[in-house]
Amino acid sequence: MNDITIDFPPGVVNTASKRKKTGSWREANLIRWEGVTLRPVGGWEEIDYPAFASRCRASHKWNGLDGNTYTAYLCEEHCYVDIDGVLTDITPTGGLEPPIGTDEGGYGDLLYGDGTYGTPRSSRQRTLPATPCFTLDNWGGELRAMTSPDGRLLRWDPASPASLLTAVTNAPTGNRSFAVTPERHIILFGMDGDASQYGWCDQENDTNWDFASTTSKAGKNNVEPRSPIVAHKSVGSDFIVFTNRASYNVRYVGLPYIYSAKKIVDCPTPLSAASITETPEGAFWGAVNGFWLYNGVNIAPVVCPIWDWIDGQIAVDDSRFEASMINVAAKSEAWFFFVSVDHTENNRVAIYNYKEKFWTMGRLGRTCGVGYSNDTNPFMSDGFKVYRHEVGFNYPDAEELPWAETFTVNIMDGVNMMTIHQMLPEITGPTDNISYNFIKSSPQLPETISATKTIKANGYVDVRETARDFRVRVNMVGNDEWTMGPVSVDVKPRGRK
């Protein structure tokens, strides 16, 4: 007998081959690591709100001047604010322009053979220079909101809680998105119907957009070479701004120019306007060819060992409309949600722990969320419901409970057959929350999955499975917290048959 300890490093490494010989986790669902300890991602509970009348695409939390905390939810055609736990509809009179409208797709929008001859094509499949964008922020104690299809800069004042969103006086219309700067300007991107233009209001006064005045600090500029602005994100006191051709650093430079844009480098644009977030290391985003980080000076690719999994799952065209990135700051994690090939809305998530530099993944869909470093329970929305996350270990509406699966384990160097008699995992928490399966494989033979194994009262798992190669799958079957560390395995070598 051989008593061997298996201690897999934190994080998932996913490649196309399941039989790759490596001591790593190959795939997981809603599993994270804290240090080297494997544990399930925290569960969630639904917030008691009525369903949104249209899909929620952005959320924002801020403190009003009255000291109260407010959370806003910007939907495709509506806007809501949580006031003392009550969801209040503040949609402007006449509503918000929907992101797609009634436009129909046309010839060449889909692959040959898709759809029925003579019928309209789905407009969501049309390749657009920039897909819809939804922006929320606070201007002092007030809320500012904008959707790119509507194009207006809208305001709401908590001092008048029964009021609706209204257009900011004198602000240009036909805009794509906006940002509130540390210098107390609002910058509009894709301003006034010019997709490559950005402009800003007078300092401390978002009703003054007089670009010709010599006493106002309002101004405007264009990115060069001209190309539609797609996305932006703050990086410290600056902003990184993307077009389909290049990226730019928009920076406060003071009088007389106020703000200027300097081209950084040609780099991949975020997959969608929402698939970028701000982290302590800089702006982090997902693109069609991987993940990228801008720290205020340089843009660099971020190594993603689960890219094979993402690339094999993602529906790029739909994800350009739907993909979103949420910073779960209290866990030092960026959650990238995208659409898989068999869906039309987000249903997969790739999770990057930017503090420890490892990745994991899950089967979960969210359109937006908000969580700060001191907020242990971030809010996320699936489009129509809002959930408080990291609450207990129940997973309502999830496809599956958490699980993790290793790569092939070749304890006998892949030459001889072996029999695993027993396994002793290092477990904390109720052991009846966990079960195991062993996926057995040998060259030229189909894989087989063992019967489910459970942990006995003495802490051991009786296995008694023989094969040349094994993969081990850990399954969460209860709803209590648990963790797993190193595993001791009792192995007996066999012959080469």
In this predicted model, what pLDDT tens digit does every residue of 244-301 receive, in sequence order?
889 999 999 999 999 999 999 878 999 999 999 999 999 999 999 999 999 999 999 9
CA 189 to chain centre: 23
CA 41 to chain centre: 15
Which region, left, alpha or beta, applies to residue 402 given φ > 0 means left and ψ of -120 to 50 means alpha? beta
Whether 443 has a pLDDT exceeding 80, the answer reads no
H or E segment and range at residue 4? strand 2-6
Please count the other Cβ atoms lying within 10 Å of the Cβ belonging to residue 376. Answer: 14
Whether 216 has a pLDDT exceeding 60, the answer reads yes
Residues 6 or more apart in contact with residue 205 via CB below 8 angstroms: none
Tokens of 121: 């094509």
Which residue type sits at 291? F
pLDDT tens track for 394-436: 999 999 999 999 988 765 555 677 888 899 999 999 999 999 9
Which residue type sits at 315? A
Tokens of 297: 């000076």
Domain ranges for the chain: 2-41+402-493, 44-389
DSSP-derived secondary structure letter, 431: G
Cα(493)–Cα(497) distance, rounded to whole angstroms?
12
CA neighbor of 179 nearest in space, from 136, 150, 148: 136
Q: What percent of the chain has pLDDT over 90?
A: 75
Give the predicted TM-score (pTM) of the model: 0.92
Angle, alpha carbons 123-127-131 (nearest 5°): 80
DSSP-derived secondary structure letter, 480: S
CA neighbor of 23 nearest in space, from 411, 353, 307, 360: 411
Predicted confidence band at 337 (pLDDT cuts at 50, 70, 90)? very high
DSSP letters of 54-114?
A: S-EEEEEEEE-TTS-EEEEEEESS-EEEEETTEEEE-PPTT----SSTT--B-TTSS-TT-
Starting from the edge strand earliest in sequence, which strands make up the sheet with 219-222, in order?
177-180, 186-189, 197-200, 219-222
CA neighbor of 441 nearest in space, from 421, 416, 404, 471: 471
pLDDT tens track for 372-396: 888 899 999 999 999 999 999 999 9
Whether 359 has a pLDDT exceeding 80, the answer reads yes
pLDDT of residue 249: 95
Cα(181)–Cα(184) distance, rounded to whole angstroms?
5
Cα(266)–Cα(245) distance, rounded to whole angstroms?
7
Whether 102 has a pLDDT exceeding 50, the answer reads no
Beta pairing, strands 324-328 & 333-338: antiparallel
Q: Domain 2-41+402-493 is of which CATH architecture?
A: Sandwich (2.60)
Residue 389 near residue 329 (C-beta atoms within 8 A): no
CA 258 to chain centre: 33
Write down the CATH number for the domain with range 44-389: 2.130.10.10
Predicted confidence band at 465 (pLDDT cuts at 50, 70, 90)? confident
pLDDT tens track for 50-94: 999 999 999 999 999 999 999 999 999 999 999 999 999 999 999
